[in-house]
């Protein structure tokens, strides 16, 4: 697959780049994507949920009423889950939701996500740009030049650039990541993926490792 390379003004530079078909042109594997996204979201969960069960509710242990002769059901404790304020039956407890996933499956999932974006013409190649100081206005202007204003955009840069990162941090629909840190969820969650020219080789090397 061949894509035109744009500059920060949104104009074609006249140059093109061929994307590796083993990364951007594979037949997507939906199950690998499902497993990887499931792991990413599970690993983000804090798992600190907790509710009080019967043994933990702070109430008197006094028997509420006599056992027989009232015409109602027996009641031995106000802590019972059948009463308002009683303990919860099988309530949530703190737990770790994270799980491990095979490296090859994660690799396949990222390839599949990129392949979907390539099929949908959701990948934009751009020449490297930089700011002297962080500039949200400048970053927004570049997205506007690429006709990506208002769209969820994932910008993949080859290496850490503090000015670009800080320029995008306050924008709700934009996220900047380093090529080595891409994940399936971020790729699929974006409408468009903006790839710096230098990021392509890094991604191809990363996802073609044996």
**Domain harbouring 113, CATH code:** 3.40.1370.10
**pLDDT the model gives residue 61:** 87
Mean pLDDT of the 31-45 span: 97
What three-state secondary structure class fits 5? Answer: strand
In tens, the pLDDT along 86-123 reads 999 999 999 999 999 999 999 999 999 999 999 999 99
67 inside domain = no
Count of structural domains, the chain: 1
41 inside domain = no
The whole-angstrom separation of Cα 160 and Cα 155 is: 12
Phi-psi region of 47 (alpha: psi -120 to 50; beta: other; left: phi over 0): left
97 inside domain = no
151 inside domain = yes
64 inside domain = no
In tens, the pLDDT along 146-156 reads 999 989 999 99
Tell the residue number behind the tokens 């990506």, with chain if given. Answer: 148
User: Could you list the residue range(s) of the whole structural domain that residue 135 is in?
Assistant: 2-29+102-207
177 inside domain = yes
Q: What percent of the chain has pLDDT over 70?
A: 100
The reported pTM is 0.84
The whole-angstrom separation of Cα 14 and Cα 11 is: 9
The whole-angstrom separation of Cα 112 and Cα 84 is: 51
Q: Which residues pair with 87 in a beta bridge?
A: none
Mean pLDDT, the chain, rounded, equals 94
């Amino acid at each position: 697959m061949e894509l035109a390379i744009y500059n920060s003004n949104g104009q074609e530079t006249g140059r093109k780049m061929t994307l590796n078909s083993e990364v951007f042109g594979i037949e997507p594997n939906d199950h690998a994507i499902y497993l990887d996204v499931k792991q990413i979201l599970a690993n983000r969960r804090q798992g600190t949920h907790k509710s009080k069960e019967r043994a933990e509710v702070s109430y008197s242990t006094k028997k509420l009423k006599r056992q027989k002769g009232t015409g109602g059901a027996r009641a031995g404790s106000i802590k019972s889950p059948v009463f308002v304020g009683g303990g919860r039956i099988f309530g949530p407890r703190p737990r770790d939701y994270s799980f491990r996933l095979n490296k090859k499956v994660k690799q396949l999932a990222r390839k599949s996500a990129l392949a979907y974006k390539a099929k949908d013409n959701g990948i934009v190649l751009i020449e490297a740009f930089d700011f002297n100081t962080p500039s949200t206005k400048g970053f927004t202007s570049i997205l506007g030049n690429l006709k990506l204003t208002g769209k969820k955009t994932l910008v993949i840069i080859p290496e850490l650039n503090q000015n670009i990162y800080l320029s995008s941090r306050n924008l709700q629909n934009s996220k900047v990541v380093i090529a080595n840190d891409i994940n399936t969820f971020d790729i699929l969650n974006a409408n468009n993926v903006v790839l710096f020219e230098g990021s392509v080789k890094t991604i191809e090397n990363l996802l073609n490792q044996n």
